[in-house]
Structure 1
Amino acid sequence: MNDGNSSTPFLARPTKNRGWRKKGPFALFALVCSATLIVTFVAATNPLSASPFALSGHWVYNSVLRGVFHIDGPTGNIDAQAAVDGEPGSQVVQGDLSGYVVGLHKITEFGKDDLAARQGITPPVDEVPVGVEGVGGPYLVYRNAGLVVRLGNPSRVVPIGGAVGDPVLTSDGTMWLHRTGVGSICTLPKDADRPSGCPVQAPENHAGALTVVGDRLAFVDFFSRTVSTVDGDHLGQGTPLGVPLSPNSRAAAQDVAGRVAILDLERHTLSLADTASPPAPPVTIGLSGGDYDGPVSTGSAVVLVDRQTGNVLTYGPDGAPKDTKPIRDKAGKPRLTRGEDNRVYVEDADGTQVVVVAKDGGMKDVPVAGKPTGPSAPPAPVVDTKTGEPGRQGGEASRQGGESDRPRGGDTSRPPPPPPPIPATAPGAPTGVAATAGDGSAVVTWGAAADNRAAVTSYQVSWQGGSMTVSGGARRVNVNGLTNGTRYVFTVTATNKMGAGPGASAAATPFAVATAPTVNAVNQGNGAVRVTWTAPDMKGGTLQHYQVSATGQADQNLTGNSTTYNGLAAGRTYTFTVRAITKSGDGQTLIGTPGSASVNIPAPPAKRITISEGQATTSGNCRAPNCARVDANGVGFTPGPHDIRLSSSSNTNVQTETVDVRADGSWSYSELDYDVPGQTVWITVDGVQSNKITWKSP
């Protein structure tokens, strides 16, 4: 696999040339017997060069006939076909010279010039990718795994770094990918073997999708209900879409005549929002309940598939219905592909039918079939089980109930014919489906579905906004790139050669614990500390309260953003921790990431008083500058009022006054006078004596 600094080619397996080529003109028709299509192939007369079909028309893999067919878009004719041994349900993507039959477990290349299978390629993960045809491609995008495969010689695996949404390719060959959940929009330039970076940042944890409006990349934000064009390395100012949207929405990758087409799977609406300035009023089309695929734009019309009715639906930019065509085989998931010719090709699950949607929304129904190679093999001769001799083909001995089949006389030794075998049917529903939510993700598990006499070949896990197909032996998938706080219903269905069976579902709401708040703690003095914090990112959860704790103190549960702790001991360091307690969408209580701050409350200093000669004064005993006030300062005392006593060498209590000690234990006092020259004075507070000073003699 790729380590992010280099690219690693796929492992290739050479395969035998199985192209159906023989001399003679094309002849394509279907033989229908007893409502069963029985078809075999004959190939093209001459090899078809790559250039007439390079990035035009559409290739489809027919799982019943086990081959690829090229459909000419303008005419709807099948003009090329080749035998390729692919997996049922494979898709086909084409480059300039080669096509690729892409299945869950193998990818087979075939030449567009000689229609011959060339090599087998091992997929990087067990996931059905999104195929992208265009300049620099073709590409396979494994959305859940966050991998892009550039098919070619050699093929390259390019890691993006995490789950991505549907890719968008602009006309210069740049692929754009939205990292769902984290919001980064990354670029893969044409012919590059690694991303050039993720220069644009969309809002984190906002459900949304990329689209192209007039060949300018834009981001549709389903939360803020805006569309923003990418301007260099940032998103421009969002333009309101003017329609209500749920997070379970999808946007077409191409505008519809300047409008963004958005399918809301919860509201069952298709909205066409104008992006002009000023915008025209949006158009909203109400859809019947059910499951839909799409939307895909031709540039002038939008295409949906109603899986409940099996109808392909097209609408114009004004919301008017354009055309309707049925998909005959409703089993399985249809595939919608926008071709380089601006047509949309809708395949049924087995590739036996393709509906070609023109740019104006009109449709053509194309049955995918080939020509029988010749008569069926003759039936085996009928043998008389009594005599062991051959009977006449089609004669009495071969008929049910003929003489050779009847017991003769009392002969009952011959056993009755066995009952006809019970035909295989589509699988049953998977058992024990469960979904466990995580941070922007969910783990979906299930038990085996009843195969109903045909082995289960794959399981499909679908949810609002996406799906994954995994092998028949899988029993769990990790679904990434989900939006926290949004409830998802995950439906698992099993598929065998007879089709898809009924689904079984489980729901989960992805969540993440809240991020750490920024905490600030300030010593207020006198054993008090004030703690404040900022609101963190709740990650889609609903705030219940903040849990605030401090060293050696009882926890507090608060809904505000501040509190004060009192009575804290001096000489200790206290750590204050704040967590946001949230509740997820499914009612689970989540304890957020803690944020903290520490404060040291210093021990009070020893009580100390210092006096000095202060401002000069004049009295009846002396005149300035020979007499002055006494400036006194103290530390380490208990806050509040205290007596301050002035003493001298001739009087132990010259004067007593009151001083207010500050919260930090300090005080200052400059109101004491002493005017007897030659005397020594000092101050006493709470029994603590200051230094002594001697008054000057005149």
Structure 2
Amino acid sequence: MYARGYPSCVQIRKWGRRSAGERNRAARWPVALLVVVAVGAVTAALTGAAKPVSGLEFLQSGHWVVNLALGQAVHVDGASKKPDGQVPLPHVDQGSQVVQSPTSGYVVGSADVTEFDKSTLSVERTSPLPSDGERPLAVEVAGGPYLVYAGSGQVVRLGSEPKILSAGRGLGSPVTTDDATLWMHRAETGAICSWARGADELSCPATAPAGHAGGLTVNGGKPVFVDATEGTMSTVEATGMGVQKPLGLRLPPTARVAPADVAGKIAVLDPDTDRLHLVSAGSNPVTVVLPAGEYSSPSVTGTSVVLLDRGNNVLRTYGGDGRERKTTPIPVEKGEPRLSRGEDARVYVDGAEGKHVVVVDGDGSITPVPVQGKGELPPQPTPVQPPPATVATPDRQPPVRQEPAPPVTPSRQPQKQVPPPAPPPPPPPIPATPPGMPGNLAVRIAAPASDATVTWTAAPANGAPVTGYVVTWVREDGSRPGSATVPGLSHVIAGIWSGRDVAFTVTVAAVNSAGRGTPASVRTAATAQPTITLSRGGSASKECGEPNCAWMRMVFEGFEPGATLDVMPHSSHPGYSNPGHRLRADSAGNANLQAFYYHGVGHTVWVTAGGVTSNRLTWTAG
């Protein structure tokens, strides 16, 4: 039974049936006006004087789930824990899920997404997805949802103007900050990228160590990277990674991080040992030994950590102090349940067939809700029959009781045949967008050359062919900057390396007809590559008895400290031979040698040692 004065779900939907223009105007109402209306509604409810408010759009909160048997998307109100609306769907498949924006719901299937209007509860369009059979991670955030394809690296922003970008293959679990920005981490390269609400491209302000295990979370409203390899956490700043802070424990590469903190502590699951760690910088971690199970990644709601044990079909919640709050079996359905975090900050667990939803509130309380489509309506009052009328006859016969006439059923008038509505036009194709990020960016320097060879793999085209790649570079001291546009997947930068320990940054971005895409960057510190520098030494005319005879002078740098080197001289003259010379590098890996007199003017000479070839020197007179 609904309390007196509150609108029913049917009324809410009726008031919501307005044009898109009206809905947009309502969405732009000042917050103060909405507060006044809300206060007025509460007052009217308490006094019993509530009336429908025309023009105010009641937006549905809570969670949507696909009931496969009914072929419907059913809405479960998070506060009342009851189904209160449903949308018949043209088709559903196993594993479909629903995400919502303020005005629309999106049923995400294996290959397409079906959009329905939350005011009219009617399907509007179905559009293809760049799925390739991969199921995305769906993220609800203020203003509209995202779909993240972790394997392919494609990211879809749903809404009135859908958009697809690429963040590179192999993404970890995404997180969102309070400003509706989506954050993603790519373990292979370490790149940490964000997609701000309303932005048309990704920004990659920071890079974690490449190949390090771990994941992103949000702590104190800021994105944080938990490095499981190093056992540290670092805030992601606009200028790069913040200071690494120790967690106080070592984590396995399989560690899974909750998407947000609980009372300042970050929940990290160790699935290998069935342990939950609650960590924060500057304090000792709290470790909870869990019952043996098969746990999905942890989530959070309010002040509680939520863990789903898929193996035992059990849901557990814990406080920020590590104390268990609730443990509840969840209804068993064919297939694996799905845990998701709603925009209302509650956590929802959907049954695989959509017959049940388990709602987890901020305090860790758990409520299973059966999903049967239409919610309960208030009981209707039973019609009251009037008492039988007493009628006197003209000849004053005894009164005769006249039974009431049976109710009259209105005759059905033949209805005018209305042609079925025309099918909606096909959705417009998703427009081409700038390419995604090139993959596997690498730089190779072959000593003793000063050139750097840059290689990468093709960037996602995003709807239009890639026409080229823009390569830019600059040394750490700002010198020798340059750029080039190339059609292929490699480029040689001449003269970028001038010696040992010279750092420089190379950036590569793909280009198509929609513009320049998200760049990939790599910072390379040229290591101490072994080198041999050959030059003409002092006169050796007394030793060889020939004019123009001199020693070869060799400088060895960057070899292993104390390495034994067999030095062999070479000449372009076919008759030249020499047994060579053995020497030992010093503690810094360096050595100097003057040996191998030579006199053949016009010949080319060089030396080799330890697999390294020197520069080639043309012998000149005197």
TM over 0.5: yes
1:573 corresponding residue in structure 2? 606
Structure 1 residues 265 and 534, CA, compared in 2 at 3 Å: closer, same or farther? farther
What are the superposed Cα offsets for residues 340-388 of structure 1, whole Å, 9 maximum, x if unpaired?
221100112222211111101110011111369xxxxxxxxxxxxxxxx
How far, CA to CA, are the matches of 2:351 and 2:565 in structure 1?
55
Contact 1:54 1:95 in 2 (8 A): no
1:26–1:86 CA distance, 2 compared to 1 (3 A): farther
The Cα offsets for residues 536-580 of structure 1, whole Å up to 9 and x where unpaired, read as: xxxxxxxxx9999999899xxx9x9948798878642346787xx
Please say if 1:183 is aligned against 2:190: yes
Matches within 5 A, 1:202-601: 202-275=208-281, 279-329=282-332, 331-370=334-373, 518-523=528-533, 529=554, 531-533=556-558, 562=589, 571-574=604-607, 598-600=614-616
Distance in 1 of aligned mates of 2:234 and 2:65: 35
Cα separation, 1, equivalents of 2:318 and 2:172: 24
Q: Which runs of 5+ in 1 are unaligned?
A: 1-24, 28-42, 373-437, 441-513, 536-544, 579-595, 607-698
Q: What's 2:411 paired with?
A: none
Q: Give the drift of 1:327.
A: 2.5
* SS state at 1:599 partner: coil
User: Which structure: greater strand fraction?
Assistant: 1
Paired residue type of 1:522: I
**Is the alpha carbon distance of 1:164 and 1:577 closer, same or farther for their aligned partners in structure 2, counting shifts above 3 Å?**
farther
Partner of 1:107: 113
Alignment-derived partner of residue 149 in structure 2:
142
**For residues 162 and 305 of structure 1, do their structure 2 counterparts lie closer, same or farther at Cα, with a shift above 3 Å needed?**
same
Go from structure 1 to structure 2 and tell me whether the alpha carbon gap of 1:247 and 1:318 turns closer, same or farther (over 3 Å shift).
Answer: same
d(CA) in 1 for partners of 2:295, 2:566: 48
Query: Aligned partner of 1:180: which letter?
Result: A
Give the letter for the 2:103 counterpart: L
Q: Which residue identity does 1:306 align to in structure 2?
A: D
TM-fit CA distance, 1:161: 3.6
Match of 1:166 among 159, 167, 173: 173
Change (3 A) 1:187 1:550: farther
Cα distance in 1 for partners of 2:567, 2:336 equals 54
Q: Within the alignment, does 1:128 sit opposite 2:135 as a pair?
A: yes
The CA distance in 2 between the partners of 1:129 and 1:107, in whole Å, is 11
Distance 2:87 2:568 in 1: 74
Q: 1:369 to 1:531 in 2, by over 3 A?
A: farther
Q: CA deviation at 1:220?
A: 0.9
1:90 matches 2:123? no
- Tell me, what secondary structure is at the counterpart of 1:294? coil
8 Å CA contact 1:315, 1:323 repeated in 2:
yes
Residue of structure 1 in register with 2:85 after alignment: 80
| Secondary structure of 1:573's aligned partner | strand
CA-CA distance at 1:599 after TM superposition: 2.9
For 2:136 and 2:229, locate their aligned partners in 1 and report how far apart those are by CA, in whole Å: 27
User: Which one-letter code corresponds to 1:81 in the other structure?
Assistant: Q
Cα 1:563–1:344, aligned 2, differ >3 Å: closer, same or farther? same
3-state SS of the aligned residue for 1:80?
Answer: strand
How far is the alpha carbon of 1:255 from its aligned partner? 0.3
Is the CA contact 1:521–1:529 (under 8 Å) kept in the aligned structure 2? no
Query: 2:233–2:246: 8 Å Cα contact kept in structure 1?
Result: yes
Q: Secondary structure at the match of 1:128?
A: coil
Whether contact under 8 Å (2:72, 2:373) holds in the other structure is no
| Structure ID, larger Rg | 1
Q: Which residue type is aligned with residue 521 of structure 1?
A: T
| Alignment CA distance shift 1:546-1:82 (3 Å) | farther
**Is 1:60 equivalent to 2:65 in the alignment?**
yes
> What secondary structure is seen at the aligned counterpart in 2 of 1:519?
coil
The 2-side partners of 1:366 and 1:548 are apart by 79
- What's the RMSD between the two structures over aligned residues? 3.9
User: CA 1:528–1:331 in 2, change beyond 3 Å: closer, same or farther?
Assistant: farther
Question: Quick one: percent identity of the two aligned structures?
Answer: 38
Distance 1:122 1:242 in 2: 46
**Do 2:155 and 2:164's aligned partners in 1 also have CA atoms closer than 8 Å?**
yes
Is this contact kept in 2: 1:72–1:78, CA < 8 A?
yes
| TM-score (normalizing by structure 2) | 0.57
Q: CA deviation at 1:331?
A: 4.3
Residue 160 of structure 2: aligned partner: 153
Gaps of 5+ in 2: 1-6, 17-22, 24-55, 376-438, 442-523, 538-550, 571-579, 599-603
| Distance in structure 1 (CA, Å) of the matches to 2:173 and 2:58 | 26
Q: Measure how far apart 1:69 and its partner are.
A: 0.9
Matched, 1:192 2:199: yes
> Could you tell me how far apart the structure 1 residues matched to 2:344 and 2:87 are?
22
Deviation at 1:339, TM superposition (A): 1.4
User: After superposition, what is the alpha-carbon deviation per residue over 1:470-489, rounded to whole angstroms, capped at 9, x for unaligned?
Assistant: xxxxxxxxxxxxxxxxxxxx
